[in-house]
Structures are given as structure tokens and as C-alpha cells.
């Protein structure tokens, strides 16, 4: 099963990397393909009926949207930090930006925690553990795949 999963990831990545597209469009296409793959694997692992699957993915999609908004705010704070350093802002302004970044990071962790807690009424504890482990392993596999792909490109050039 793990070999099949790895094969699917490799095939998806090779299809995505083989196509020539502008970078922004490629990123969206890349993300969409992996989201689809992730959903298929989650459905397979959790073995959900249709009604439960719909509830789960509605909550998951809302969580992802909330996380994306927080990430966008974090990126904005990072931009402000870079500008503040370039301008030589005072310690008070830098402290304000540090606290803003810390607050957003905490907000992101809380969002993740709230999402997992919200699953208690639709999933069993075992299924919630499977979601947590799957997401961890999926991200690790993707990261490892991208690192390997980058390594191959580096040594090829």
C-alpha cells in the first residue's frame, strides 16, 4: 500500500514537473493535483460514508481557507518586517511586528487545534488519529519528493 501511495505521488509529481507553465499557474495546478490526491487517499484511509465525507471535507475546506488567510497575514507581517529593517525602525516598532507575528502563529495553531476538536462529532478517535498521521506523512512525503527532485536537478546542471 505504501509503495502504491509513493508511486502515485511520484507519477503526479512527474506529470506536474514535466509540463511547462508560468510559475504562478504551475503552482496552482501543482497544488490542485496534490489536493485531489490527498482527498482520494483520505477517503480511502478513513473509509467514510458519503454524508460523513461531505461534512468532513466542508470542515476541512473551511479550516484550509482560514489557515490560508492567516498565512497571507503572516506574509504581510514578514514584508513589514523587511521594510522595517530597511528603514532602520526603532525597537518599539520591531517589537510590535514580532508580537504580531507571534500572535498570528498562535492563531494558526489554534485554528488547527479547533479543526481537530470539531471532528469529534463526525469521526471516531481512531479516524481523527488517522487524519493527523496521514497529513503528517503526506506533507513529509511531498517534501522529501520535492527535495529529491531538486537534488536531481542540481546535480544534472
pLDDT digits over 86-141, tens only? 999 889 999 999 999 999 999 999 999 999 999 999 999 999 999 999 999 988 98
Q: Assess whether pLDDT exceeds 90 at residue 16.
A: no
pLDDT, average across residues 2-27: 48
Q: Assess whether pLDDT exceeds 90 at residue 1.
A: no
pLDDT digits over 67-89, tens only? 999 999 999 999 999 999 999 98
Residue 28 confidence (pLDDT): 60
Taken as a whole, the chain contains a residue count of 157
Residue 6 confidence (pLDDT): 47
Can you say whether the dihedral through the CA atoms of 148, 152, 155, 157 is positive or negative?
negative
| Distance, CA of 147 to CA of 151 (rounded, Å) | 6
> Cβ atoms within 10 A of the Cβ of 39, count?
15
Average pLDDT, the chain: 83
Task: Report the run of H or E that residue 88 belongs to, with start and end.
Answer: none
In the structure, what pLDDT confidence band is assigned to residue 155 with cuts at 50, 70 and 90?
A: confident
Residue 21 confidence (pLDDT): 44
Amino acid at each position: 500500500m505504501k509503495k502504491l501511495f509513493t508511486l502515485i505521488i511520484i507519477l503526479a509529481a512527474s506529470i506536474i514537473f514535466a509540463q511547462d507553465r508560468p510559475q504562478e499557474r504551475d503552482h496552482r495546478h501543482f497544488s490542485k493535483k496534490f489536493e485531489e490526491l490527498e482527498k482520494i487517499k483520505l477517503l480511502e484511509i478513513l473509509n467514510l460514508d458519503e454524508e460523513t465525507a461531505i461534512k468532513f471535507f466542508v470542515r476541512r475546506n473551511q479550516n484550509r481557507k482560514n489557515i490560508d488567510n492567516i498565512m497571507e497575514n503572516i506574509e504581510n507581517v514578514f514584508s513589514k518586517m523587511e521594510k522595517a529593517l530597511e528603514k532602520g525602525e526603532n525597537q518599539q516598532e520591531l517589537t510590535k511586528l514580532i508580537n504580531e507575528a507571534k500572535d498570528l502563529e498562535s492563531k494558526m495553531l489554534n485554528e488547527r487545534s479547533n479543526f481537530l476538536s470539531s471532528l469529534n462529532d463526525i469521526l471516531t478517535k481512531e479516524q481523527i488519529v488517522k487524519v493527523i498521521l496521514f497529513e503528517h506523512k503526506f506533507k513529509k512525503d511531498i517534501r522529501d519528493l520535492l527535495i529529491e527532485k531538486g537534488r536531481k536537478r542540481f546535480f544534472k546542471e
